[in-house]
A and B are shown apart, each in its own frame.
Chain A
Amino acid sequence: MTIVLALLLAQAAAPAPDLARGEKIFSQSCAIGYCHGAKGAANRGPRLRGRHFERQYLIRVIRDGIANTAMPAFKATLNEADLNAVIAYVESLSGAADTSGHEVSSLPAVKPAAPVAEAHPGRSLFFDATKGTRCGSCHVVDNQGVAVGPALARAAGTSADILNAIQKGKANRVRMVTIRGEAPFPAIVVEQSSDTVRLYDLNSMTPVLRTLPARDVTIGPASDWLHGSLVRGYTAAELTMIASYLSSQ
């Protein structure tokens, strides 16, 4: 409640939301083929045009999404000004006729910009989608990535320490595992009970989470697996940049 109130107060002090901006964001993020349709005329998502929504409801749903549905929380991807613009635009649709819009968009054509650059070039490299295997395939940093290996939120040490760990680091968690009928492979065991073992098979990029009968699995000593074997897709200069980014975290 206080959050909403604060929002409303902030709203009052903020400049009037930009409807044209709201329309542009809506057409790119909300009107798309899978959701609310052009000018809110409905698609797979509900129709918004010609319907009245409580303002607080709009604020809540657009910011926080709706759990267990396709409605995302846009506070994760839009800034405050853009959120307000979209909210205002959706509100403006309530007076619109309940038909699909025909009018030519009044928006001026703009030149497409290059994708927004990440704050730190090391971060871009960490999540570089042009690399088949990238750091983010196995590590979470700053709430992004996949948690197979350790999260790197508090990676200790200098940039040089981190670079050394990336290239030459051994991981104690990684064990050599033997499964009946297969050659031994490095793995991270994540769960072990009397009848089942779950482990990440590191013989594959990305690692495979395998569930195996305990009787078939022999967990050996720490493996001589090296983290450096995974980062061959990066140049030394790129790894230095990534280390610099992680040390700044």
Chain B
Amino acid sequence: MRLLLPLAFTCAVVALGQDGATKENWTDYGGTPASWRYSSLDQINRSNVAKLTPKWIFQTGDPDGGLNVTPIVVDGVMYVSSSRNRVFALDAETGREIWQYRYQFPKDFIVSYGPWNRGVAVAHGRVFMGTLDNHVVALDQKTGRELWKVNVEDYKQCGCNITGAPLVVKNKVIVGVTGGDSAHRGYLNAFDVETGRHLWRFWTIPAKGEPGNETWEGDSWKYGGGATWMTGSYDPELNLLYWPVGNPAADFYGGGRRGSNLYTDSVVALDPDTGKLKWYHQQIPHDVWDFDTAYECVLFDAPVDGRMRKLLLNVNKGGMTFVIDRTNGKFVSAWPVVKHLNWITGVSPEGELLGRNEPEVGKTKFLCPSIGGGRSWNQGAYSPKLKWYFTTGIEWCQDVTATPEEPREGQFWFGGSFTPKDPPGERAHGHLGAYDPVTGKRHWLYKPTYPLLASVLVTAGDLVFTGDPEGYFFALDARTGEKLWSFQTGSGHRGSSITYAVKGRQYIATPSGWGSALAGMVAQMWPEAEKFRGGSTIIVFGLPEER
């Protein structure tokens, strides 16, 4: 006879705007469409986290590319996607498989940009996933049966595919695309959740005759990158869809695309009903570093100069965090998540980059951070309770050389090469910090052995969870950064942990499975990482049952 622990929901009171906290369910890629990765569950907290034990383990069976997913949990069922577009529906209490789906690839299919998948979206009785051959599929949530499948663009022509999780807004499933390092013109698409019919396309690079096209030289707009490879956010009150747009192509050589290259390296705010641009905020005009404004848009409210503001936070690959007003895109503040940053000397009070330090043709330049990112795509977390933002950072640099290359449609187009290097005066390393999201004031910094490449989860129990490349999944005290618990899961972490509740019990779930493009780069900097074991496993933890 087990006693159920009382499950108290701490009211994460936010004076204005949306509540981005999750409760029993983890409904969206970022927890909710506000992308907080914060749960109001506090049954597991600082007082009892040391007692966490594994409850069940699920193996997807295919470790290629690792396990990069953020699981979704709806009403006691967990939905997990793994490499090569496999989807599993699992009983979230026991780990029992309810159904599995294997996407069928064309016979001559070749993986570009890697086999991983970062997650599905679940809504309207359907499970939605983007595929490696650039389709979107809708599956029956109960059976896993395919209901519709639509081609976004011929993957062989565009050299692009879908690895990010879709976002459902009202009756639309919104899906981004990779291809930002190829000669390709990026876009964002919306499909009808019921029929799969195409509803709108937003091109991230305006066509001839459209405003913004003048920021591209000649025909460079046709091949200028601007991928939408990660997942956006949504504010239902403002009815605005926010999507981060990645770097322009070629990555390191901008000679053929003089101009600010809109809307690359921007956060765009769209009307989700029409796909029309409402406003944009460009972080990096004419990016020549591949510093990709591609990561999560955290929607939160905070006082700025004594006035409550609706804000949006976005960390880019260059290690710079930009905070803007999410009602109009106006710049509010910028702060770095890394110490070693020399591609600019700073950001002006108006949000303009100062002292640009650009790669040069035929010359090797030492630039920080590395193209691998002052932070990678694994997401940070925001606690409305502490009003802090938690994010990882990587202190590493690179030698980079720009090389003019001719674009070939759908083919990789980097325009240079790079070699990761230690930063000046110290060994490369990573960290996880707690920051004031507006000012960047740091409250604590945790330093692991290897850089952390898994997303961060924060809970109302004042716990921060993440995992490391060696396989340890661990909990820190969100108030101090002190390590309270850790568990060796058998393979490194590159996905995103979540928390949920079934029948009044809180669980913590983490993917374990080392892989991805960056895992390879880590091995260049830390040769022993070449031997880190792969895997593809979901491990779920809970408190011991009381007798």
B404 in complex: contacting residue of A109, A127, A145, A146, CB < 8 Å: A109
Contact B222 A208 (CB under 8 A): no
A108: chain B residues within 8 A (beta carbon)? 362
Contact B524 A43 (CB under 8 A): yes
Does A204 make an interface contact (CB < 8 A)? yes
Contact B222 A129 (CB under 8 A): yes
Closest to B371 in A: A33
Contact A111 B417 (CB under 8 A): no
B192: chain A residues within 8 A (beta carbon)? 204
Closest to B115 in A: A70
Shortest CB-to-CB span from B342 to chain A, Å, is 19
Contact B414 A205 (CB under 8 A): no
Bound Cα distance from A44 to B150, whole angstroms: 29
Contact A206 B198 (CB under 8 A): yes
Does A237 make an interface contact (CB < 8 A)? no
Does A29 make an interface contact (CB < 8 A)? yes
Q: Which of A33, A37, A39, A77 has the most CB of B within 10 A?
A: A33
Closest to B399 in A: A102
A101: chain B residues within 8 A (beta carbon)? 419
Bound Cα distance from A129 to B409, whole angstroms: 9
Mask: chain A, 117-138; 1 = CB below 8 Å from B; 0 = not? 0000000000101101000110
Does B7 make an interface contact (CB < 8 A)? no
Mask: chain A, 141-173; 1 = CB below 8 Å from B; 0 = not? 000111010000000000000000000000000
Shortest CB-to-CB span from A65 to chain B, Å, is 7
Bound Cα distance from A104 to B364, whole angstroms: 6
Contact A211 B145 (CB under 8 A): yes
Bound Cα distance from A100 to B110, whole angstroms: 27
Contact A28 B414 (CB under 8 A): yes
Bound Cα distance from A77 to B183, whole angstroms: 14
Bound Cα distance from A141 to B406, whole angstroms: 25
Known A-B contacts A33-B521, A43-B521; the reply to A208 vs B419 at CB < 8 A is no
Closest to A146 in B: B154
Bound Cα distance from A65 to B152, whole angstroms: 26
Bound Cα distance from A102 to B421, whole angstroms: 10
Bound Cα distance from A44 to B253, whole angstroms: 23
Q: Which of A34, A114, A205 has the most CB of B within 10 A?
A: A34
B145: chain A residues within 8 A (beta carbon)? 211
Does A207 make an interface contact (CB < 8 A)? yes
Known A-B contacts A37-B520, A43-B521; the reply to A208 vs B412 at CB < 8 A is no
A interface residues, tally (CB under 8 Å)? 60
Does B156 make an interface contact (CB < 8 A)? yes
B362: chain A residues within 8 A (beta carbon)? 104-105, 107-109
Does B329 make an interface contact (CB < 8 A)? no
Instruction: List residues 204-218 of chain A with CB under 8 A from any CB of chain B.
Output: 204-211
A70: chain B residues within 8 A (beta carbon)? 110-112, 114-115
Shortest CB-to-CB span from A69 to chain B, Å, is 7
B185: chain A residues within 8 A (beta carbon)? 129-130
Mask: chain B, 183-203; 1 = CB below 8 Å from A; 0 = not? 111000001100111100100
Bound Cα distance from A31 to B418, whole angstroms: 9
B150 in complex: contacting residue of A109, A115, A182, A209, CB < 8 Å: A209
B196: chain A residues within 8 A (beta carbon)? 201, 204, 208, 210
Known A-B contacts A28-B414, A129-B157; the reply to A111 vs B181 at CB < 8 A is no
Instruction: List residues 24-48 of chain A with CB under 8 A from any CB of chain B.
Output: 24, 27-29, 31-34, 37-39, 41-45, 47
Known A-B contacts A27-B403, A44-B517, A70-B110; the reply to A32 vs B412 at CB < 8 A is yes
A209: chain B residues within 8 A (beta carbon)? 148-150
Mask: chain B, 410-454; 1 = CB below 8 Å from A; 0 = not? 011110011110000000000000000000000000000000000
Shortest CB-to-CB span from A84 to chain B, Å, is 19
A112: chain B residues within 8 A (beta carbon)? 253, 255-256, 404-407
Shortest CB-to-CB span from B188 to chain A, Å, is 13
Interface residues on B, range: 35 or more
Shortest CB-to-CB span from A183 to chain B, Å, is 11
Does A12 make an interface contact (CB < 8 A)? no
Bound Cα distance from A32 to B361, whole angstroms: 17
A113: chain B residues within 8 A (beta carbon)? 406
Closest to A69 in B: B111
Does A110 make an interface contact (CB < 8 A)? yes
Shortest CB-to-CB span from A202 to chain B, Å, is 10
Does A192 make an interface contact (CB < 8 A)? no
Closest to B158 in A: A129
A145: chain B residues within 8 A (beta carbon)? 154, 157
Bound Cα distance from A100 to B520, whole angstroms: 13
Contact A32 B414 (CB under 8 A): yes
Does A116 make an interface contact (CB < 8 A)? yes
Bound Cα distance from A105 to B419, whole angstroms: 12
Bound Cα distance from A205 to B199, whole angstroms: 9
B148 in complex: contacting residue of A33, A39, A110, A208, CB < 8 Å: A208
Closest to A105 in B: B401
A96: chain B residues within 8 A (beta carbon)? none
Contact A77 B411 (CB under 8 A): yes
Known A-B contacts A104-B401, A132-B201, A208-B150; the reply to A38 vs B418 at CB < 8 A is yes
Does A248 make an interface contact (CB < 8 A)? no
Instruction: List residues 141-194 of chain B with CB under 8 A from any CB of chain A.
Output: 145-154, 156-158, 181, 183-185, 191-192
Closest to A34 in B: B517
Closest to B402 in A: A109
Contact A107 B154 (CB under 8 A): no
Bound Cα distance from A39 to B207, whole angstroms: 37
Contact A130 B222 (CB under 8 A): yes
Closest to B255 in A: A112
Does B519 make an interface contact (CB < 8 A)? yes
Bound Cα distance from A75 to B517, whole angstroms: 24
A104: chain B residues within 8 A (beta carbon)? 362-364, 401
Known A-B contacts A208-B149, A209-B148, A210-B147; the reply to A201 vs B197 at CB < 8 A is yes
Q: Apart from A27-B403, A28-B412, list 9 A-B contacts with CB within 8 A.
A: A43-B521, A70-B112, A77-B411, A105-B362, A112-B256, A112-B407, A136-B157, A146-B151, A208-B197
19 contacts between A and B (CB under 8 A): A27-B417, A28-B413, A33-B521, A37-B521, A39-B417, A43-B521, A104-B401, A108-B362, A109-B361, A109-B362, A130-B185, A132-B201, A137-B153, A146-B151, A204-B197, A208-B150, A208-B196, A210-B147, A211-B145
The 9 A-B residue pairs with the shortest CB-CB distance, nearest first, are A204-B197, A208-B196, A44-B520, A43-B520, A113-B406, A112-B404, A208-B150, A70-B111, A38-B417
